[in-house]
Amino acid sequence: MSQRQGNTSEESTLSVLISYLGQGRTIEAKTPRARRAFLTLPPESFRDALAFLVNEEGFRHLSTVTAVDVNDHMEVIYHLSSGGVSLSLRIPVPKDKLVVPSIVDLVPGAVLYEREVHELFGIVFEGHPDLRPLLLPDCWPEGLYPMRKNLSLVQIRGVLADARATAKLGR
């Protein structure tokens, strides 16, 4: 019952994708358990891989986009799924150039997820139709990204306290 018809197994999807992309265009691939796969790609091959997964391999559902602030760089992770298989595509992004191409043209459902990551981490999604603030209060200062590791809870509370003091934010 757990294995339904039509589900591609995670290993075969990964090997198909890796051979599609060709030699040297993947950084790391792993399948820690059934129905889970993680693949690390350089930024230049990721749109190719994503289009292939969405159009050819049936990974049409994007669950969400996660960003992680690692010490010297950031990671953007796209959680795709097809049936029960969840495949996470990870791309490392250098901190001095936090720009990745938007995938909204390939997966329209990515529109709010990219906006959220942009607002909280300051990663720019090139080609996104609308990167206006979505979640943070109107008084939140531009260029300050709360989910980055260098911004502490104390600093965030300070920003909000200042906004309250100037009556830009309610109690």
Partner 1 sequence: MPEQQPSLDDSFIIPIGPQHPALKEFEYFELRVDGEEIIDVSVRLGYNHRGIEKAIESRTYTQNLYLIERICGICSHAHTTCYCQAIEELLGVTIPDRARYIRTIVAELERIHSHLLWLGIAAHEIGFDTLFMYIWADREIVMDLLELISGNRVNYAMNTIGGVTRDMSPELLDNIREGIAKLESRARFYKDLCVEEGSVMQRVVGVGVLQPEDALHLCAVGPTLRACGIANDLRKDDPYAAYDAVSFNVITYDGCDVASRMFVRIDELIESVRVIDQCLHCMPPGPHKVKVVRKVPSGEVVSRVEAPRGELIHYARSNGTDQPERYKVRAPTLANMPALRKMLVGGYIADVPIVIAGIDPCFGCLDRMSLVDVKTGRNWIWSSDQLRRHSLTWRQQA
Read off the amino acid at residue 136: L
Read off the amino acid at residue 99: V
Indicate which single residue of 4, 23, 142, 143 sits in contact with partner 1 (rule: CB under 8 A). Answer: 4
Q: How far is the CB of 32 from partner 1 (least distance, A)?
A: 7
Give the phi and the psi of residue 80 in degrees, each rounded to 5: -100, 155
Indicate which single residue of 137, 144, 158, 168 sits in contact with partner 1 (rule: CB under 8 A). Answer: 137
Going by C-alpha positions, the residue among 119, 120, 74 that lies closest to residue 100 is: 74
Query: Which residues are CB-neighbours of 81 under 8 A, at least 6 positions away?
Result: 59, 61, 63, 87
Q: How far is the CB of 22 from partner 1 (least distance, A)?
A: 26
111 contributes a contact to partner 1 by CB under 8 A: yes
Q: How far is the CB of 49 from partner 1 (least distance, A)?
A: 18
136 contributes a contact to partner 1 by CB under 8 A: yes
Residue 110: Cβ-neighbour burial (10 angstroms; 0-12, 13-18, 19+): buried
Indicate which single residue of 21, 39, 110, 124 sits in contact with partner 1 (rule: CB under 8 A). Answer: 110
Indicate which single residue of 16, 112, 139, 163 sits in contact with partner 1 (rule: CB under 8 A). Answer: 112
**Helix, strand, coil percent values for the chain (each to nearest 5):** 30, 25, 45
Strands (E), 19-84: 28-33, 36-40, 61-69, 73-82
158 contributes a contact to partner 1 by CB under 8 A: no
Contact track, partner 1, 54-93, x by CB under 8 A:
------xxxxx-x-xx-------x-x-x-xxxx-x-----
Binding site for partner 1 (CB under 8 A): 1-2, 4, 7, 32-33, 35-36, 38, 60-64, 66, 68-69, 77, 79, 81, 83-86, 88, 107-113, 133-137, 146-147, 153, 156
